[in-house]
Structure 1
Amino acid sequence: MSVAEKVCVFVFLLQGVCCRQNSISLPEKIEALSGSCVIIKCTFEIEENMDKYLTESDATGLWLKDGTNMNNNQVFNSRDPNNRFKGEITGKLHEKNCTTVFYDVGSNHNGKYYFRIESGALKYTFYMNTSTINVIGE
């Protein structure tokens, strides 16, 4: 391997270590029986310079359905007891765990879900990966 090839490999590996990007891991498709609950297993990463804003006392998780407009598509906010969808985030957001349970699902839950994290200056919607819920048995 030439020196240039070694440098390229080193830079490629270093980029993965030093340059964390916003990403999320969640199931692509979820089927749920009407009247049951849905668990969305969810973890995320954020840019390293935003870690300082992700605190237990400030972190808020939001779920947007069928679009990313905060006014029209928000169905759940972890800090608001008056959500369109009843549920809770069971993961610890400050530990980058956004696992969420929605209770008593019905056909109104059918759709594509986007997760958003807010904490201090950190405000980010994960656009690239989504979960689609399909409720059956109604």
Structure 2
Amino acid sequence: MDFLKAAIVEYFVIQVLIQDISCETWQVYLPQKVIGIQGSCVVIPCTFNYPGVEKQSNDITILWYKDNENSQQYTEIYHSKNNLISLADSYILVGDSGKKNCSLKITKLQKKDEEHYHLRVEIAQLGAFSFIKQTAYVSVSGKNLSHLSF
């Protein structure tokens, strides 16, 4: 019986050591600025990392926020588990969260879209992290092209 207890304790100690060696931190990688033409679309390329073992897409919730610098408030513009928030398909997740890709497409780009955007990732049985300090600024230039058909 003592041998079994010792083996179990050893197993857990090894697992903890392995976790510590492979431990990652919450990170996001996105450009500081993206430029788009009014009336077209723009993609904010984005990847993220989190501690622990890899999760499936259905365990990961992606949320995107538009930042209002003047009031320091955030408007939720995309929620991967709630399609009603996607604001009439103006914001589309084009990345695969299971592959740690959180790229966001903004369609029919307008001057009102010119703002800072940040990401929040929620992972089942792990936790959540808001990347408030790492934002991408979307700059909108040019004339409105939304009346053209391609």
Give the TM interval when normalised to the shorter protein. Answer: 0.7 to 0.9
Query: What residue identity is the alignment partner of 1:75?
Result: I
**TM-score, normalised relative to structure 1:** 0.73
Q: Who wins on radius of gyration, i.e. which is larger?
A: 2
Give the drift of 1:72. 4.7
SS of residue matched to 1:66: strand
Deviates most, 83-92 or 110-119: 83-92
Query: What residue identity is the alignment partner of 1:31?
Result: I
Corresponding residue number in structure 2 for 1:8: none
Q: Would you say the 8 A contact 2:93–2:105 is kept in 1?
A: yes
Corresponding residue number in structure 2 for 1:62: 63
From 107, 119, 124, the counterpart of 1:115: 119
Q: Would you say the 8 A contact 1:78–1:88 is kept in 2?
A: no
Deviates most, 54-63 or 93-102: 54-63
Corresponding residue number in structure 2 for 1:128: 133
Give the drift of 1:32. 0.7
Structure 2: distance between partners of 1:97 and 1:20: 16
Percent identity reads: 26
Q: Would you say the 8 A contact 2:118–2:134 is kept in 1?
A: yes
Structure 2: distance between partners of 1:76 and 1:56: 16
SS of residue matched to 2:58: coil
Runs of 4+ displaced beyond 6 Å: none
Query: What residue identity is the alignment partner of 1:136?
Result: S
The answer on 1:78 being equivalent to 2:80 is: yes
Superposition pairs for residues 1-138 of structure 1, below 5 Å?
18-48=22-52, 51=53, 54-66=55-67, 72-82=74-84, 83-84=86-87, 86-121=90-125, 122-138=127-143
